[in-house]
Homo-oligomer: A and B are copies of this chain.
Amino acid sequence: MSYVLRNALIPTASGYETTDVRIEGEQIAAIGKGLLAGAPGSVELNADNKLLLPGFVNAHTHSSELWQRGIIPPYPLELWLAQLHEYAPPDPEKVYLSALATAVETLLSGGTTVVDHLILIPGQELATVEAAVRAYREVGIRAFIGPLLQDQALPACLPGGEGGSAAYPLSTAEVLAMLEEAVQKYHRPEEGISLMVAPTGIQLCSDQLFEGCAELSQKYNLPRHAHLLETRAQQLLAQEKYGCSAVEHLERLGYLDRKTSLAHCVWLTASDIEILARAGSTVVHNPLSNLRLGSGIAPILKYRQAGVNVAFGCDGAASNDSQDLLEAIKIGTILHNVTDPDYRHWISPRESVEMASRGGAIGLGLGDKLGSLEVGKQADLVLYDLTQLSLLPRTDPIGLLVLGRPTQAVHSVWIRGKQVVADGEVTTVDVAKLRQELFRHSSWDPFRRSQQAAQLEARYRQVMGLPG
């Protein structure tokens, strides 16, 4: 299939220009005024008063958390996690539905790629991955699925030396074998579905698990992912476990490279930042969950000054509690203005767009194939309708897209050259039916009480120095 977009507004170094864009196969084939029509059967699309941008990467989420969005009370990460884990993990059918919804919300907020750090159903690990793969294939979104791995149980996540021996049902070798089987079954990058190695983070993973993941990443050329220093408790835990920072430890284990992306990175020191810059690893900024969980404000301006690549993520919907990438980009852009009085360091809307598109692609090792409007790049493209009320009056289209609150702004989306949103509607899945299914599989239940969070709370308050 090929497309010619007529008179799209695209950003240039000195402003904007109105031009045509031709998509052929999976790629951007031509950009220029007055392009000839495509081959017979090529679709012509009037892009008057529409802004064309490369698709964004939702560079960190956990799709099945959707089932608990809106319901977990204001808690810090460690207590929040206890509550998240307590309530029955969804079955594969629910994983499928929440992956569909995550993909739809990502698409309708400018995202064309999703990185799903997928929480696995114990005993049904491969079925979990299969359900997510199925959903992303149906939607047609480009997906990177990182089965969320751990080989230690939840109590280990707090410093204080009590949790290290907590039993986890699978051995490290079993976890790695399961991951390798999933890779062999589902890793199809040429079809838009990739697997990643994705241990959850230093708080629940052994050194052997990180090393095994690095080996599988080498063997199958997989991107690497993990949480990193999301909370102060994790910073304390790293010192206790390793006698050094988590970043120093991951560097020694050989986990950091140019296709490693690390979610959060709130509690890094200046020397940690130098290590990330040297390794060429990517920070995934999840501003909304960092606020929601009280984790802190990641030092994003320092990362940028040090030359560390930064991308944006929504994080799982139980800690955000949406999958709206434009919201994450807006808050991730303006939040840092309160951390540095010198406005010359603040992030501009154009820089945000670059971080969300090319920054996201670089973090996945795809900087040469994805994330910019250039001939020969993958046609992962989003067309925004600049006549929607939320994008009016006409001022600076990218300024208003990033700093405003775009509503119903996404008009069309192409991924790998295939159109998946047209006239503001997802064309590949039935969203009305999806809403019915989400409704049917849930009930209003605002006052459940978590036992696990209550059990962990006393220890948490003691470790963090909070009054009892």
Which of A's residues lie within 8 Å of B, judged by CB?
9, 14-16, 49, 66-71, 73-76, 79, 101, 104-105, 108, 232, 288, 290-297, 317, 320-322, 324, 327, 331, 334-335, 337-338, 340-343, 346-349, 387-390, 392-401, 403-405, 407-408, 431, 434-435, 438-439, 441-447, 464, 466-467
Contact = CB atoms under 8 A, between A and B. Distances in A.
Contact of A439 (B67, B331, B394, B408): B394
B69 A400 contact: yes
A105 B294 CA distance: 29
Contacts of A70: 349, 395-397, 399-401, 403-404
B104 A389 contact: yes
Contacts of A335: 291
Nearest to A394: B442
A393 B337 contact: no
20 contacts: A15-B446, A15-B447, A69-B393, A69-B395, A69-B403, A70-B400, A71-B400, A75-B343, A101-B392, A105-B389, A105-B390, A291-B337, A292-B403, A296-B338, A327-B405, A387-B435, A389-B438, A393-B442, A395-B446, A398-B446
A71 B14 contact: no
Contacts of A292: 334, 337, 403
A451 B304 CA distance: 29
Contact of A16 (B101, B297, B388, B444): B444
A444 B399 CA distance: 11
Given A69-B400, A327-B327, A14 B439 contact: no
A333 to B, nearest CB: 8
A399 B445 CA distance: 11
Contacts of A338: 290-291, 294-297
Given A321-B403, A322-B405, A464-B341, A393 B66 contact: yes
B404 A74 contact: no
Contacts of A71: 395-396, 399-400
Instruction: State the majority secondary structure of interface residues on A.
Output: loop
A82 to B, nearest CB: 13
Contacts of A16: 444, 446
Contacts of A394: 438-439, 442-445
A446 B393 contact: no
Contacts of A447: 14-15
Query: Which of the listed residues A288, A331, A431 has the most CB atoms from chain B within 10 Å of its own CB?
Result: A331
Given A71-B399, A334-B291, A398-B446, A392 B435 contact: yes
A204 B33 CA distance: 51
Nearest to A349: B70
B320 A393 contact: no
Nearest to A443: B394
A322 B395 contact: no
Contacts of A324: 405, 407
Which 10 pairs between the two chains have the least Cβ-Cβ distance? A70-B400, A322-B405, A294-B337, A393-B442, A396-B446, A71-B395, A70-B399, A74-B346, A394-B442, A392-B438
A18 to B, nearest CB: 10
Nearest to A397: B444
Contacts of A295: 338
Contacts of A399: 70-71, 321, 446
Query: Which of the listed residues A68, A108, A439 has the most CB atoms from chain B within 10 Å of its own CB?
Result: A439
A439 to B, nearest CB: 6
A283 to B, nearest CB: 17
